[in-house]
C-alpha cells in the first residue's frame, strides 16, 4: 500500500518530498508494514522535533520538521533522521497493532521509565533493520531512568537485542 505524504511539496524548508516519501516506503517495508496504507504529515513550520502516532486505523503519523532536519544545515533534510523518526513510529505502530503485544491505548500517557524501555526495544530493532547505530546514546538515556549499574545494563542489553517481546516484558 502506498505512503501518502502531506505536504506533497515543501515551501518553507528545502526537503525533497519525493525523497521523504521514498525513505518512508523503504522503512515501512523493512519493519514489516509495507502492506498497509500510511499517512505522514510533516509540519514544516515547526523547527521542533516532536513525533507522534495520530491514529492506528488508518495509520497516521505526525512529524515536526525538526525531527527530519539536518542539525548542521538548517531547513535541509537529514535522511538518517528521517529514517529514524519514521522507523521509530512505525515500529511502535506495529507493536500497537499486534494484539499479542498488549500495548496500552494510544492516548494513555506512559511513565518515563516505561517509555525509555520501549524506545530501547524499538531502536534496537530499527538498527537491525538497517538504521544507524546509536546504542551508547540510548544506553545513557536508559541508565538515567533505570540506574547506572549492572542490573540496568543487563536489562538494556536484553531489550536492545530482543525481538518478539510484549508490553508486559517491557514493564
Write out pLDDT tens, residues 1-41.
589 999 999 999 999 999 999 999 999 999 999 999 999 99
pLDDT, position 112? 95
| Residue 23 and residue 61 in contact, taking contact as beta carbons nearer than 8 Å | no
Average pLDDT over residues 102-113: 94
pLDDT of residue 150 exceeding 70, the answer is yes
pLDDT of residue 48 exceeding 70, the answer is yes
What is the overall mean pLDDT for the chain?
Answer: 96
Structural domain boundaries, residue 72? 3-97
| Residue 66 and residue 46 in contact, taking contact as beta carbons nearer than 8 Å | yes
Residue 104 lies in a domain: no
Residues 124 and 166 in one domain: yes
| Residue 53 and residue 108 in contact, taking contact as beta carbons nearer than 8 Å | no
pLDDT of residue 167 exceeding 70, the answer is yes
Residue 69 lies in a domain: yes
pLDDT, position 2? 85
Residue with cell 528521517: 82
CATH number at residue 89: 3.30.2010
Cell numbers that stand for 60 in this block: 497516521
Residue 76 lies in a domain: yes
pLDDT of residue 87 exceeding 80, the answer is yes
Helix (H, G, I), strand (E, B) or coil at 18: helix
Residues 132 and 89 in one domain: no
pLDDT, position 64? 98
The model's pTM is 0.95
pLDDT of residue 90 exceeding 80, the answer is yes
Assign 76 a pLDDT band (cuts: 50, 70, 90): very high
Residues 116 and 60 in one domain: no
Hey, which residues does 140 pair with through a beta bridge?
none
End-to-end C-alpha distance for the chain, whole angstroms: 33
pLDDT, position 1? 58
Residue 102 lies in a domain: no
Average pLDDT over residues 63-70: 97
Residue 105 lies in a domain: no
**How many structural domains are present in the chain?**
2
Residues 147 and 89 in one domain: no
Amino acid at each position: 500500500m502506498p505512503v501518502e505524504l502531506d505536504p506533497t511539496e515543501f515551501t518553507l524548508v528545502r526537503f525533497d518530498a519525493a525523497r521523504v516519501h521514498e525513505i518512508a516506503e523503504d522503512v515501512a517495508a523493512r519493519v514489516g508494514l509495507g502492506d498497509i496504507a500510511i499517512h505522514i504529515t510533516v509540519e514544516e513550520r515547526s523547527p521542533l522535533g516532536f513525533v507522534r502516532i495520530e491514529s492506528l486505523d488508518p495509520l497516521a503519523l505526525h512529524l515536526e520538521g525538526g525531527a527530519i532536519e539536518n542539525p548542521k544545515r538548517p531547513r535541509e533534510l537529514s535522511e538518517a533522521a528521517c529514517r529514524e523518526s519514521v522507523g521509530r513510529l512505525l515500529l511502535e505502530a506495529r507493536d500497537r497493532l499486534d494484539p499479542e503485544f498488549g500495548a496500552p491505548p494510544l492516548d494513555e500517557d506512559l511513565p518515563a521509565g516505561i517509555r525509555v524501555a520501549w524506545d530501547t526495544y524499538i531502536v534496537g530493532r530499527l538498527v537491525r533493520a538497517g538504521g544507524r547505530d546509536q546504542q551508547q546514546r540510548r544506553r545513557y538515556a536508559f541508565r538515567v531512568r533505570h540506574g547506572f549499574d549492572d542490573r540496568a545494563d543487563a536489562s538494556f542489553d536484553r531489550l536492545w537485542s530482543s525481538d518478539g517481546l510484549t508490553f508486559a516484558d517491557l514493564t
